[in-house]
């Protein structure tokens, strides 16, 4: 008997990339409905996508992960904490089961201590900070963004 799943994630698209997580072949999920609206954002196609972003159940996301698990070495969710979802529920229902397959990363636009703590329970990599055009991205020494690897799934 299949359990009814009411929690859904606005997955705009997904694919494989070599550039999002260092030294990893990564299955990425672009999460839509982004509320950050950063000036100069390279992913503005993820803004306000409520009407045209397919909603995926946890089972659908896990099915995609299973399909690609032999082809990738990591999974990343981009746009994870400012899109209308309850982040703790997202972590519990999506990040937790996905992390049982392989290492997971998440890109979060907003600095939120609780979200960082929750993400650190399941994610090996966390990128945090909205994009600020005047400061640049991770390749800029002036950036406001951080990309870090969590050790032992806890902050040290």
Report if pTM > 0.85: yes
Residue 35 lies in a domain: yes
Task: Look at residue 100 in the predicted model and tell me its pLDDT.
Answer: 94
Local structure of residue 34 (DSSP, 8 states)? B
Residue 155 lies in a domain: no
Beta-strand pair 26-31/74-78: parallel
Per the structure, the count of domains in the chain is: 1
Residue 104 lies in a domain: yes
Q: CA distances (Å), 74 to each of 15, 98, 109, in order?
A: 12, 10, 20
Residue 43 lies in a domain: yes
Q: CA distances (Å), 34 to each of 8, 49, 54, 85, 139, in order?
A: 15, 8, 14, 10, 23
User: Which structural domain, as residue segments, surrounds residue 106?
Assistant: 8-149
E strand or H helix at 105: strand 104-108
Residue 156 lies in a domain: no
What are residue 13's DSSP bridge partners? 30
CA 34/CA 96 separation, integer angstroms: 22
Local structure of residue 74 (DSSP, 8 states)? E
Task: Look at residue 45 in the predicted model and tell me its pLDDT.
Answer: 76
Local structure of residue 13 (DSSP, 8 states)? E
65: phi then psi, degrees, rounded to nearest 5: -60, -45
Task: Look at residue 1 in the predicted model and tell me its pLDDT.
Answer: 47
Opening angle at CA 45, ends 60 and 48, nearest 5: 80
Q: What is the pLDDT of residues 11-63, one digit of tens each?
A: 999 999 999 999 999 999 999 888 877 788 778 778 766 667 788 999 999 99
User: In 3-state terms, what secondary structure has residue 40?
Assistant: coil
CA 38/CA 109 separation, integer angstroms: 9
**Residue 28's CATH number:** 3.20.20.70
Q: What is the pLDDT of residues 65-105, one digit of tens each?
A: 999 999 999 999 997 677 888 999 999 999 999 999 999 99
CA 39/CA 44 separation, integer angstroms: 9
């Amino acid at each position: 008997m299949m359990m009814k799943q009411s929690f859904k994630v606005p997955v705009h698209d997904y694919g494989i990339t070599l550039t999002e997580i260092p030294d990893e072949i990564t299955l990425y999920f672009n999460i839509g409905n982004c509320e950050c609206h950063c000036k100069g954002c390279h992913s503005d196609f993820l803004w306000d996508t409520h009407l045209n972003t397919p909603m995926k159940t946890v089972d659908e996301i896990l099915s995609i992960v299973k399909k690609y698990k032999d082809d990738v070495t990591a999974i990343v969710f981009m746009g994870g904490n400012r899109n209308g979802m309850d982040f703790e529920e997202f972590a519990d229902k999506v990040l937790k089961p996905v992390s049982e397959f392989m290492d997971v990363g998440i890109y979060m636009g907003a600095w939120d201590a609780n979200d960082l703590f929750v993400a650190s329970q399941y994610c090996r990599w966390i990128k945090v900070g909205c994009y600020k055009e005047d400061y640049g991205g991770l390749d800029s020494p002036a950036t406001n963004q951080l990309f870090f690897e969590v050790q032992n799934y806890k902050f040290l």
